[in-house]
Amino acid sequence: MRQSKILRHLAVVVVIAAVTIAIAEAMSFAVLRYQQAPSSALAIFESPLVTGRHVMSVRKRANQRWSTTEFDILLKTNSEGYREDFDFNLADVEVAFMGDSFTFGHGVEASERFANLFAARMKGKIDAAHVVSLSPKNGFQPEHYEYFLKKNPDLRPKLIVIGLYLGNDLDADVRETRFDRQSLTLELPYRAVDRGVIVNATPYRVPFFRKLVDISNTARLIAILLNRSIYRLYLFEPNATIPNGSNSESLEFGKFNEYSDRAFQSLVNITEMARNWGGRVAVLVIPQNFYAGPVSNPHLAPDLRPRIPEILATGGLRAAVLNRCNTLKLECIDAGAVMTATDFFPADAHWSKDGHRKAADLLFQHFAGTSR
């Protein structure tokens, strides 16, 4: 009698647990299905990410809509996986734009990117079919661009424009990269591709949690929400390298570290490579959105947001980068000089089409006024 009562209670607990799990899974599935897609959810990537000639392997002839609450655009790639509506040979490229998501045209149509707008402004001076954006297949920080150029020796443009985003190109993106110049190898061990989407491959603190994320909508939702919060460090193993991390406090205030030094070394190397073939390199410095004015979602560590006035008062990383450019004799162009807060998407923190238009105008004015 007592045993049967225990079994009945156990059965009730099992049923309640099963129903609770089923409801949680259904609700998590709905939230994941209808939530705003993060930028990394763009399903155009191939595995492995690093191939013989490219740092970010992108699907050829991709054709999909990319929609969030802030933009809805068409994203297409050509027969080689570049985001251009024409095919080209690297040997024919005269102006190459290299960079991360800003150069890729995150959130805007290809025709609205600063690279394409610059090509249109150069009409009559250069064939627009010889002006191309190599992002994202060139990678997303200066070491990647150096690797790309060395792996593609037929690419010898007259001009290379490198987009240098201060939000992560000098720290987080370098930190997660293993680059060996001697053997010319490059690895991205903390990123992986899952069904065309780049995912975080950093080890979790909890054993088997990654496997649970693969099979459970609830676990996946929890991981996503934690990864987007100030508690993301508690999700991963101690001292782990986490993609898309924030700059350190010292870097935001303009004190360079070993990672930023690595990035600048690649910019110097690329400049020297280009000079050897008679080319020219210009670095388009892209400060974070808070340098342009008050914004709702400043791109820096949450605990530093109350200290934005201090950063701006000293010039912060932006001023330090421009000074380092002068010291290293790099040709740097400050995109922050023409941007306002409304030139960025409010939540996404990338340039809107207005920001791209201003960047194109800035570049055109710069090169039209120089004869180098």
Residue 23 has pLDDT above 90, yes or no: no
Question: What strands lie across the sheet with 159-165, from one edge to the other?
Answer: 131-133, 95-98, 159-165, 280-286, 332-334
Three-state DSSP string of 168-193: CCCCHHHHCCEEECCCCEEECCCEEE
pLDDT in tens, 30-83: 877 665 444 446 889 999 999 989 999 999 999 999 988 899 999 999 999 999
Helix axes 353-368, 114-121, angle to 10 degrees: 40
Residue 19 tokens read as 């129903």
Q: Could you give the C-alpha distances from 151 to 128, 185, 230, 295, in angstroms and in order?
A: 24, 10, 38, 40
Global model pTM greater than 0.85: yes
8 A C-beta contact, residue 188 and residue 264? no
What stretches of 104-209 adopt beta strand conformation (E)? 131-133, 159-165, 178-180, 185-187, 191-194, 197-200
Element housing 228 (H / E):
none
Q: How does the average pLDDT of the chain come out, rounded?
A: 91
Cβ-based neighbours of 309, under 8 Å, separated by 6 or more: none
Q: Rg of the chain over CA atoms, in angstroms?
A: 23
Residue 183 has pLDDT above 50, yes or no: yes
DSSP state of 20: H
pLDDT in tens, 260-288: 999 999 999 999 999 999 999 999 999 99
Q: Return the ∠ at Cα 165 (arms to 163 and 171), rounded to 5°.
A: 125
Question: What is the C-alpha to C-alpha distance for residues 121 and 104, in angstroms, rounded to an integer?
Answer: 19
Confidence at 372, pLDDT banded by 50, 70, 90: very low
pLDDT at 211: 79
Instruction: Indicate the SS3 state at residue 121.
Output: helix
